[in-house]
Amino acid sequence: MKYLIGIDVGGTATKAGIFKEDGTLIDKWSIDTEIGDNGIHIYDDSTALIREKMEEFSIKQKDVLGVGIDMPGPVYADGHLGKCSNIFITGGYPAEEISRRLSGIKAVAANDANAAAFGEMWQGAGKGYSSVCMVTLGTGVGGGIIMDGEIIAGCHGAAGEIGHIKVEDRETEVCNCGGKGCCEYYASATGLVRVAKRIAANGDPLRPFVPGQEILHPESGISRFGEELTAKDVCDLARDGDACAIEAVDFSMDKLARALGYVSYVADPEVFVIGGGVSKSSDILLPLLNEKIVQYTPLVREKERNVISAKLGNDAGMYGAAALALYKIF
Amino acid sequence: MKYLIGIDVGGTATKAGIFKEDGTLIDKWSIDTEIGDNGIHIYDDSTALIREKMEEFSIKQKDVLGVGIDMPGPVYADGHLGKCSNIFITGGYPAEEISRRLSGIKAVAANDANAAAFGEMWQGAGKGYSSVCMVTLGTGVGGGIIMDGEIIAGCHGAAGEIGHIKVEDRETEVCNCGGKGCCEYYASATGLVRVAKRIAANGDPLRPFVPGQEILHPESGISRFGEELTAKDVCDLARDGDACAIEAVDFSMDKLARALGYVSYVADPEVFVIGGGVSKSSDILLPLLNEKIVQYTPLVREKERNVISAKLGNDAGMYGAAALALYKIF
């Protein structure tokens, strides 16, 4: 029996798992991500626990095909790590750090969004495809693109930055990237809530909501939720027929479809896999996305663009890291 | 001595060349593209002339490493040809057609825009880079993207369709792709002329020019050229200080920069190589492009985006086809 290990380093938690070569998960665990000291604790803590787990499951070093690690920052073609803003690590070679601490077990590193795309392609919604664009709708909109089994890692750390594709010229507020009218400003979980509040307050998805302002649609459920409103609430309200929520979801998915259309006209993946928290409301979001992306890609002859829901949830990165160890080490 | 052969099939002419393995061109020639009969004449004519040339230069079959052929339509990963609208060929496997007619010399096929990108990377402006986006400004705006030495061919024939990326919401006229506000509607040679005429006639790059209408800026050189106006004229006028021409070039390059910014946020190539007729005015266009693309890619930390001028002119596809034979056959 041969084994793979996947490590998914996040801003607060680092998850890891041991897999059989066929993708079966044997065990997974999560530890706090100890930030600082340029990542040394992350590498020490992760590998110490891997050694314990290997002992627990009587896995010999020679039976581990490899370890994959994904990081919340760009990883260049030579394995060098770019700036990880969430965990204050810059530089170094994560794969070498891991390998050195595990007596030379082979290791490979990748960006977390790319690893998640790889994970969904290996054992999730993208199984059977070789070209996948994974879109994660959370606080922001993340993107990872695999074409013909190869990660599109890019040359300046910008590949897959779908969230910051400009999709709206009339926006007046500035995104934290420094641009205006970015896809994630409307289509992330935060973005959908923003759009919903703007519509309920002003009847206009582009006019900023100001706390305490007069509300145009006090009858909408969105107004009742107030500060506590979540993206799931907006989707639930839309499902129940709330007019403002329906308009918000429609506007939000239109902006996302536009960005995905751009991805189609640049890389043209077989399938878009939508993950992240918001994707739990995929029953209401995916039909809209599938309908709208067609409008932005008239050159694509197929009538149906394949936008599907992710399957692995928060484990996608961990799966992908293990898959990278399987496919990218030898 | 080992040799490579590149064939570039265009809508009116088919160009071909014999190269040494190191990229030195030995001889090139051009024949009319005989359209119709689903391409049989193209394959027959091209290979007959290759046989003659091989004889002329005493090149033995065993010394030809391979033949590359590029086609004006999508070529999928398995070598299957999609619809070529200009030459009425659909389907089949161009590489197999060529190989069969040349006693089994190995052959490979690709899309022409992708081949041009490969050619510029092999022996042109992209030499030394491994990730290149080639943009051809002609009647339309064509795009070919190579990442880490691999062509991004896409899954529905839409990869690299930079010309049809939507960059303007306020456009009222319809592009021939069926969309509105496409990049090439402003940034191709035809597009730059369109923008210039609109500005000279109406003072507005988005308000259509109607032949015979009242002209707002009769003093502009653009108005004097009338129907004969070319993209080169617009660039020449801008260089000479014509206000309408300057505004047109600025607007046109802003739209192109926006599309290239999207390419950066999806694939993030090392360099953009600008070719095609309009690129002859690169002294005036490239500084604008390099300046404007920065505004559309705030996440790219490097201050200077590398947008450079192509070097191989109309031979890029032929070079690229030969390079494909070198790098993609074995």
pLDDT digits (tens, 9 = 90+) for A46-61: 999 999 999 999 999 9
One digit per residue, the tens of pLDDT, for chain B of length 330 reads 999 999 999 888 999 999 999 999 999 999 999 887 877 899 999 999 999 999 999 999 999 999 999 998 888 878 989 887 667 777 889 999 999 999 999 999 999 999 999 999 999 999 999 999 999 999 899 999 999 999 998 998 889 999 999 999 999 999 988 899 999 999 999 999 999 999 999 999 999 999 999 999 999 999 999 889 999 999 999 999 999 999 999 999 999 999 999 999 999 999 999 999 887 899 999 999 999 999 899 888 665 568 999 999 999 999 999 999 999 876
The pairing of strands A132-137 and A271-275 is parallel
Strand order in the sheet with A64-71: A25-32, A13-20, A3-9, A64-71, A107-111
Q: Which residue has the higher pLDDT, A143 or A139?
A: A143
Q: Do A147 and B147 touch (CB under 8 A)?
A: yes
Question: Which residues 182-241 of B have a C-beta within 8 angstroms of A?
Answer: none
Instruction: Choose, out of B114, B147, B266, B296, the residue to mutate when testing the contact with A (most A CBs < 10 Å).
Output: B266
Query: Can you tell me the mean pLDDT for A137-146?
Result: 93
- Report pLDDT digits (tens) over A246-280: 999 999 999 999 999 999 999 999 999 999 988 78
Q: What pLDDT was estimated at residue A305?
A: 64
Position A304 pLDDT exceeds 60: no
Minimum-distance CB partner of A262 among B155, B165, B297 = B165
Nearest-CA distance A95 → chain B (Å) = 20
Q: Cα–Cα distance between A220 and A67 in angstroms, integer?
A: 50
Q: B148 — contact with chain A (CB < 8 Å)?
A: yes
Position A204 pLDDT exceeds 90: yes
- Res. A86 pLDDT band, cuts 50 70 90: low
Burial B242-280 (b: 16+ CB within 10 A, else e): bbbbbbbbebbbbbbbbbbbbbbbbbbbbbbbbbbbbbe
- Residue of chain B whose Cα is closest to the Cα of A301: B156
- Res. A11 pLDDT band, cuts 50 70 90: confident
The set of residues, in sequence order, having a beta carbon less than 8 Å from that of B246 and lying 6+ positions away, is: B238
Nearest-CA distance B55 → chain A (Å) = 39
pTM, 2 dp: 0.92
The pairing of strands A3-9 and B307-309 is unpaired
User: Are B130 and B76 contacting, i.e. CB atoms less than 8 angstroms apart?
Assistant: no
CB atoms within 10 A of CB A240: 10
Minimum-distance CB partner of A131 among B155, B164, B169 = B155
Nearest-CA distance B34 → chain A (Å) = 26
Token code pair at residue A194 = 């923003």
Q: Which residue has the higher pLDDT, A12 or B222?
A: B222
Q: Which residue has the higher pLDDT, B145 or A178?
A: B145
Q: What pLDDT was estimated at residue B245?
A: 98
Q: A166 — contact with chain B (CB < 8 Å)?
A: yes
Burial B101-129 (b: 16+ CB within 10 A, else e): bbeebbbbbbbbbbbbbbbbbbbbbbeeb
Mean pLDDT, chain A, whole residue set: 93
Q: B166 — contact with chain A (CB < 8 Å)?
A: yes
- Report pLDDT digits (tens) over A93-117: 999 999 999 999 999 999 999 999 9
User: Are A278 and A192 contacting, i.e. CB atoms less than 8 angstroms apart?
Assistant: yes
Q: Do A164 and B299 touch (CB under 8 A)?
A: yes
Instruction: Determine the 3-state secondary structure of B274 from DSSP.
Output: strand
Q: Cα–Cα distance between B311 and A246 in angstroms, integer?
A: 52
- Res. A302 pLDDT band, cuts 50 70 90: low
Token code pair at residue A45 = 């803590």
Position A197 pLDDT exceeds 80: yes
Q: Cα–Cα distance between A264 and B161 in angstroms, integer?
A: 9
User: Are B257 and B135 contacting, i.e. CB atoms less than 8 angstroms apart?
Assistant: no
Q: What pLDDT was estimated at residue B305?
A: 64
CA diameter of chain A: 67
Burial A208-222 (b: 16+ CB within 10 A, else e): ebeeeeeebbeebbb
Q: Cα–Cα distance between B227 and B69 in angstroms, integer?
A: 37
- Residue of chain A whose Cα is closest to the Cα of B158: A265
The single-letter DSSP state of residue B6 is E
- Res. A303 pLDDT band, cuts 50 70 90: low
Q: B303 — contact with chain A (CB < 8 Å)?
A: no
- Residue of chain A whose Cα is closest to the Cα of B303: A156
- Res. A34 pLDDT band, cuts 50 70 90: confident
- DSSP letter string over B188-227? SHHHHHHHHHHHHHHS-TTSPP-TT---S-TTSHHHHHGG
Residue B55, judged by CB atoms within 10 A of its CB (0-12, 13-18, 19+), counts as exposed
Q: Cα–Cα distance between A158 and A74 in angstroms, integer?
A: 8
Q: Do B155 and A262 touch (CB under 8 A)?
A: no
Predicted-assembly ipTM surpassing the 0.85 threshold: yes
Minimum-distance CB partner of B269 among A148, A155, A161 = A155
Q: Do A162 and B265 touch (CB under 8 A)?
A: yes
